[in-house]
Amino acid sequence: MLKRFFIQLTIVIVVAGIFSSLYYLSICHGLRHAKEGVPAKLDYIFYDTTKYDVLFVGSSRVLRNINPILFDSISGLHSYNAGIDGANCTLIDLMIRKFLKSHTPPRYLFINLDIYTFEKDTSFFFYPQFLTYMDDPDLQRMKQREPNLTTGSRYPFIGVSYFNDYLKEVAFYTHFNLCPPADSLYLRRGFMPARDTAYHGTDESHPLNYAFVPDRVRRLDELCSFCKQNGCRIFFIMAPIYRSTDSDTGVAKELHAQLRSVESKYDIREFNHYTDRTFPKNEFMNLSHLNYKGADRYTRLIADSFMVLNGQIRGHDLH
């Protein structure tokens, strides 16, 4: 009786493992061929060859705050929003290098620097989005930061549990060749605006809390050197945080000093709107993300500042 039980249990485990592994591979295949959302964006960044004049890179403060189509209408250039939710220093470095490897290097590169960019990055936010790309040799070093990335390829019957409903839905759309929504990331050139609702928090003052690891600044320095060698003019941008105030701590001063050093070294201009109080509460979706209305105004500010500065640079070069 006991022997029969173990035989049946083994059969159930093996069958479940086979079917869950096939399900994992099916989702990966769908995500790899997706035409909308984050999976399509990663494929676009990694392997597309479209030429852009301007590239915006960073975390959700780029993804949800910079409208490239609006920026282009002001600047007359052609831009793409390569922002990724939760992008830290390591991921920003990877996204830029991958983009420059497949695309013609953009003339202008805008790198968003959050107060969180230089913290210790021992993991990746929403790492399942990368599972289907782990055969790419350039992504192999990510395994050192996020061990779970190896689980899918080694144990697909476990890896399938890492995919959330959103990723499964995107794979489903792809498998059945269904049309993406009209407001998809794919159609907005990477821009994913936050919902058009106002922030309802009660914060009247939010002091910026800086924390950084010096090695992250060194990595930024190396990245800037790489970008300059590829002919990119670099800009640092800092998106508004609701009712934030500058920090006067030693950590903040040290980080700012190191950033000024990098900026001076590579002739980088900074557009810092961390503490910009001109953005009212109804232009924020939450404490640190603008809604659609706020994103349009922030994009206009960046575009206008860029146009003024670019005119000054060109005028100086003519003399």
Q: What is the pLDDT of residue 150?
A: 80
pTM, full prediction: 0.89
Question: In the structure encoding, which two tokens stand for residue 77, read together?
Answer: 């250039």
> For residues 272 and 40, is the Cβ–Cβ distance under 8 A?
no
Give the residue numbers spanning the domain of 276.
2-318
CA distance 215 to 137: 23
Q: Is 236 helix (H, G, I), strand (E, B) or coil?
A: strand
How many Cβ atoms are within 10 Å of 253's Cβ, its own excluded? Answer: 12
> For residues 302 and 79, is the Cβ–Cβ distance under 8 A?
no
Element (H, E) at 252: helix 250-265
* Strands lying side by side in the sheet with 54-57: 79-81, 54-57, 108-112, 233-238, 269-272
Q: Find the CATH number of the domain harbouring 287.
A: 3.40.50.1110
Q: What is the pLDDT of residue 20?
A: 87
Q: What is the pLDDT of residue 186?
A: 59
Q: Is 207 helix (H, G, I), strand (E, B) or coil?
A: strand
> 96-100 long-range CB contacts below 8 Å, 24 or more apart?
96/55, 96/57, 96/223, 96/226, 96/227, 97/138, 97/223, 97/226, 98/45, 98/46, 98/138, 99/45, 99/46, 99/55, 99/57, 100/226, 100/227, 100/230, 100/232
Residue 316 zone, left/alpha/beta (φ > 0; ψ -120 to 50; rest): alpha
Pairing of the two strands 108-112 and 206-207: unpaired
CA distance 316 to 91: 35
Q: What is the pLDDT of residue 312?
A: 56
- The total of structural domains in the chain comes to 1
CA distance 90 to 92: 6
CA distance 270 to 236: 5
Strands annotated E in 52-139: 54-57, 79-81, 108-112
User: What's the average pLDDT block by block, 10 residues per block, for the chain (319 residues)?
Assistant: 77 85 88 81 88 95 95 96 90 92 94 87 79 81 77 83 87 78 67 81 77 88 96 96 85 90 96 92 90 95 92 48
> For residues 249 and 210, is the Cβ–Cβ distance under 8 A?
yes
Distance between alpha carbon 262 and the CA centroid of its chain, in Å?
A: 22
> For residues 81 and 207, is the Cβ–Cβ distance under 8 A?
no
| Burial grade of 5 (CB within 10 A; 0-12, 13-18, 19 or more) | exposed
Buried b (16+ CB within 10 A) or exposed e, 164-199: eeebbebbebbeeeeebeeebbbeebbbbbbeeeeb
What are the two backbone dihedrals, phi and then psi, of residue 168, each rounded to the nearest 5 degrees?
A: -65, -40
